[in-house]
């Protein structure tokens, strides 16, 4: 099947934008797993090869739609290396490392957009689920019946940390050192990931 052409050529910035717009719609409407490069190319009016020319992989295209300049596939092995007993602390430290860096500005913008825009919210949800949580949960060898709840509990704590530290700027969390936050919030993530879930 040949994709519909609209005269867009490689190297044309409009082409890249058209692919991104089509991808954003596809990922938000169908989710990361169900969206196909072929369908995105068809919507954008380009050949699938051109999508791969601009964005090497489906993951890379997805990261571009949410404007996230980090690659979880590179960061997460650091979090997961060194055994599961310290994964909570390492997750907080890695998270703060990203948000405290220049990349944090883009992350704050994404969070703002996700809260005010249903489509960005869907994209962020897909990003969290398929690019971050799935990878962490797979590596920790958790009970599949509990893994989704554990992952979403981790998300609540990290999203709230980002919100209060970087957006609302509530003190003293806004100016706390990474060490303080690792020591206080690390055990929470550790319990959500590997501890007993029901402590009632």
* Residues contributing to the site for its own copies (CB under 8 A): 89, 111-112, 114-116, 121, 124-125, 128-129, 148-149, 152-153, 155-161, 163-165, 167-174, 176, 180, 182-188, 191-192, 197-200
Q: Pick between residue 70 and residue 121 the one whose CB is nearest to its own copies.
A: 121
* Cα–Cα distance measured from residue 20 to residue 55, given in angstroms and rounded to the nearest whole number: 10
**Which residue, 37 or 89, has its beta carbon nearer to its own copies?**
89
Residue 170 DSSP symbol = -
| Nearest of 157, 63, 59, 151 to residue 107 by alpha carbon | 63
Q: In the bound complex, what is the minimum distance in angstroms from residue 193's beta carbon to its own copies?
A: 12
Two tokens, residue 109: 């913008």
Cβ pair 41, 51 in contact under 8 A: yes
Q: How far is the CB of 54 from its own copies (least distance, A)?
A: 28
Contact status, residue 50 vs residue 15, Cβ threshold 8 Å: yes
Residues 101 and 76: their CA atoms lie apart, in Å, by: 17
For the record, the structure tokens of 146 come out as 């509990």
- At a CB cut-off of 8 Å and minimum separation 6, what does 188 contact? 88, 157
Min dist. Cβ of residue 150 to its own copies (A): 9
Identify the residue whose tokens are 């409407």.
29
Nearer to its own copies, 37 or 181 (CB): 181
Instruction: Tell the smallest beta-carbon distance from residue 7 to its own copies (Å).
Output: 38
Q: Which is nearer to its own copies, 39 or 163 (CB)?
A: 163
Measured from the CB atom, the residue of 71 and 179 that comes closer to its own copies is: 179
Q: Least distance (Å) from its own copies to the CB of residue 122?
A: 9
């Amino acid at each position: 099947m040949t994709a519909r052409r609209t005269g867009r050529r490689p190297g044309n910035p409009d082409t890249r934008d058209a692919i991104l717009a089509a991808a954003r719609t596809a990922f938000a409407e169908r989710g990361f797993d169900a969206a196909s490069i072929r369908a995105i190319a068809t919507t954008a009016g380009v050949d699938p090869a051109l999508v791969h020319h601009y964005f090497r992989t489906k993951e890379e295209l997805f990261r571009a739609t949410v404007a996230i300049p980090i690659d979880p596939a590179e960061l997460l092995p650091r979090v997961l290396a060194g055994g599961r007993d310290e994964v909570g602390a390492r997750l907080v430290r890695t998270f703060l490392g990203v948000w405290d860096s220049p990349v944090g500005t883009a992350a704050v913008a994404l969070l703002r957009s996700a809260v005010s825009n249903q489509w960005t919210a869907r994209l962020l949800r897909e990003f969290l689920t398929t690019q971050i949580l799935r990878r962490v949960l797979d590596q920790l060898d958790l009970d599949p019946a509990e893994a989704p709840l554990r992952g979403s509990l981790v998300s609540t704590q990290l999203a709230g940390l980002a919100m209060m530290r970087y957006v609302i700027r509530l003190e003293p969390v806004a100016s706390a050192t990474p060490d303080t936050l690792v020591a206080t919030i690390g055990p929470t993530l550790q319990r959500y990931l590997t501890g007993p879930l029901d402590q009632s």
